[in-house]
Amino acid sequence: SGMGLTSCLVLVAAVLAVIGFLTRSRRNPRRRLPPGPTPLPLLGNILQMDKDAPFESFVRLSERYGPVLTVYLGGQRTVVLVGYEAVRDALLQQSDDFTGRAPFPFLQRLTKGYGLAISNGRRWEQLRGFTVNTLRDLGMGRRRLEEQILEESQHL
């Protein structure tokens, strides 16, 4: 089960790293990237990845490039964190860089940025509030009228 925990940790770290990197790169696009293997045009580092166990590929690459590395999955630049210390440092000391969700350009174009699952910040708060209020108006979270009538009729 140790490998299962490691693979989960690496997967979570990869997702958080992408979010953090994308947030950070918007504020300072000239910031230097962590080291990593040289990507191929269009393919990136995809040929260096084990399709059955990509997390093991990240662990193997981290042995050469360190616990924080940059890989390109196709055209998508991804910063990967490998290991407890790298993830802990990122979440505790750079938490602002790791908040929010990674953008999905296709979904953002499709939904014009209004999808509850892909929104961040103020827009997400507004959409969540609207959704919760609408669901409540439709009866979610309330006892059904029939149940209320049956309960009241028992007191007659």
pLDDT tens digits, one per residue of 51-91: 888 889 999 999 999 999 999 988 888 888 999 998 888 88
Helix, strand, coil: what percent of the chain each, to 5? 55, 10, 35
pLDDT tens digits, one per residue of 3-18: 677 787 788 778 777 7
At residue 86, the 3 state secondary structure works out as helix
Contact 65, 35 (CB under 8 A): yes
Contact 11, 87 (CB under 8 A): no
Q: Is 41 left (phi over 0), alpha (psi -120 to 50) or beta?
A: beta
